Amino acid sequence: MTSTYRWRTVDIVVTAIIAVACGVLFWAWNQLWFGPFSAAFAGFPPAGALITGVWFLPAVLAPLIVRKPGAALYAEVVAASISALMGSGWGMTVLYYGLAQGAAGEVGFALFGYKKWGPTQALIAGGLIGATATLLDITTYTPGEWSTSWQLIYLGLQVASGAIIAGLGSFGLTRALSGTGVLDPFPSGRARELV
């Protein structure tokens, strides 16, 4: 009997594809962040957290699809590496973020023993990633710059962004892909509802 936690070649390849695609997305999102988004949130910088959930996508999407321990960490670190190699405005610090955000995503699914893969788990994983990113942001980029109330607002918005964009967004994308049959080699594809 094979373990459901054992990685198959298809799991490794698909997680890598998700990670690379998200790494390219990160690069594009970075361009927007340092351009129009920066201007849009100049009056109240903590509001920028509303759109940060995009950077958390691989740490929720990959585990939902391949359903293996380690998928969140693997996908987020590879995506961060691709972003760094393409020229991230934050330089190599994105690797620390990838590691921390991937680990937070793992915790979200590990809380349920890697046995449940629904919207609740996706929301929790995304929210935990948002909380982790907030801790890094406040200690790395804005230490002493923001009041406690701004930091708390930022935390709330980033947790919500992680839960909604990365959590529910990844869950919705997984369901949509499952409906096409493209995920049939995975438990996430075989679990789709018949219409």
Number of separate domains in the chain: 1
Is-above-0.85 flag for pTM? yes
Residue 3 resides in a domain: no
Residue 2 resides in a domain: no
Distance, CA of 35 to CA of 163 (rounded, Å):
25
CATH number, position 84 = 1.10.1760
Instruction: Please give the residue that has the higher pLDDT: either 176 or 193.
Output: 176
Examine the pLDDT at 195 and tell me if it is beyond 50.
no
The sign one gets for the Cα dihedral 96, 97, 98, 101 is positive
Residue 147 resides in a domain: yes
Residue 4 resides in a domain: no
Distance, CA of 20 to CA of 26 (rounded, Å):
10
**What mean pLDDT comes out for the span 177-188?**
79
- Cα dist. 93→34, 99, 105, 168, 179 in Å? 16, 10, 19, 27, 37
**Domain hosting residue 147, numbered range:** 9-190
Write down the residue that tokens 């998700």 correspond to.
18
Residue 50 resides in a domain: yes
